[in-house]
Amino acid sequence: MVFSLKVILFLSLLLLPVLKSSQVTLNNNGYDGIVIAINPSIPEDEKLIQNIKEMVTEASAYLFHATKGRVYFRNVSILVPITWKSKSEYLIPKQESYDQADVLVADPHLKYGDDPYTLQYGQCGDKGQYIHFTPNFLLTNNLLTYGPRGRVFVHEWAHLRWGVFDEYNVDQPFYISRRNTIEATRCSTHITGVNMVLNECQGGSCIQRPCRRNPKTRLYEAKCTFIPNRSQTAKESIMFMQNLDFVTEFCTEKTHNKEAPNL
């Protein structure tokens, strides 16, 4: 793989995408023309640029492996706010602009906070509008929550480029299978784990216990959480929990969990 990254001086003053038209192309298995734009409201921080470079470099290798050598990231431009100090390595943009960017680095969204997200309006298979990262996500290590940033980028790229959806469901984390068993909403079902209520506190002490079944819903109680086992044979899926070490692939038609109540 050949990965080149250029840093370009950001001149656009638009704060949100208006007429979206991505410049991304796929040539000989490599994605070119990816634009990552930093919002003008973000304070100057050299570490931010460095972490973006490291994230995309890591993501390229992860994507290459996950797609069995089909695609990787080859050329990425970072648009730096014009309010930042000028440097000799910064170039003047040609076609790149904030309103055309594929990835935005901006302040937290009221709904998502520092969680990465991709704005998607369409159905499954329809490309998204843009990926949103916050400076705090890019500058703070949250491996337990998100996993390596490169993996997160691949997860969001699948939303953006291929129009796929998450394979978990916060609103419906469990469902009743055709075998009349309670299953965690996940892909693939080969991921094993336990269903527990964590940190239930009473009288100054906290415990962890197995989940109880709600007789009305026939599902587990609201506080129940699915905890994957550390040792697994499954390798998928990136759209379920990319933060798990063993997850290195996407679910396929063969491994897709068609019963799960996700989008």
The enclosing domain of 115 has a CATH number of 3.40.390
Q: What is the mean pLDDT of each run of 10 residues along the chain (263 residues)?
A: 53 48 90 94 94 95 95 92 85 84 95 94 88 97 91 98 94 95 95 91 80 95 93 93 94 90 73
Q: Are residues 104 and 229 in the same domain?
A: no
Q: What is the pLDDT of residue 145?
A: 87
Domain assignment of residue 29, yes or no? yes
pLDDT at 104: 97
Neighbours of 64 (CB within 10 A): 18
| Final residue in a domain of this structure, among 142, 162, 182 | 162
Judge if 124 and 41 occupy the same domain: yes
Among 162, 193, 221, residue at a domain's last position: 162
Please tell me the total count of domains within the chain: 2
Domain contains 51: yes
In a domain, 249, yes or no: no
Instruction: Quote the pLDDT of residue 142.
Output: 87
SS3 75: strand
What's the Cα-to-Cα distance from 64 to each of 29, 68, 158, 212, rounded to whole Å?
9, 6, 13, 42
Whether residue 233 is contained in a domain is answered as yes
Q: Are 105 and 52 in contact (CB under 8 A)?
A: yes
Query: Kindly report the CA angle at 234 between 227 and 238, in degrees rounded to 5?
Result: 75
**Residues 149 and 198 grouped into a single domain:** no
Same domain, 48 and 109: yes
Pair 151, 183 in one domain: no
Query: Which of 34, 114, 47, 118 has its CA nearest to residue 78?
Result: 34
Tell me the C-alpha distance between 82 and 241, whole Å.
Answer: 37
Q: How confident is the model at residue 249, as a pLDDT?
A: 96
24 and 111 part of one domain: yes
Quick one: 67 and 124 in the same domain? yes
Give yes or no: residues 111 and 190 share one domain. no
Annotated catalytic residues are 156
Among residues 162, 189, 219, which one ends one of the domains? Answer: 162
Say which residue the tokens 């940190």 belong to: 199
Residue 147 located in a structural domain: yes
> Domain residues for 209?
174-241
3-state secondary structure of 32: strand
Q: For residue 12, what pLDDT is reported?
A: 47
Same domain, 216 and 117: no
The verdict on residue 101 lying in a domain is yes
What integer pLDDT is reported at residue 1 of this predicted model? 52
Domain-embedded: residue 75: yes
Task: Output the pLDDT for position 17.
Answer: 46
- In a shared domain, residues 130 and 41: yes
Claim to verify: residue 108 and residue 235 sit in the same structural domain: no
- Is residue 262 in a domain? no
Considering the domain architecture, whether residues 158 and 202 belong to the same structural domain is answered as: no
* pLDDT of the residue at 15: 46
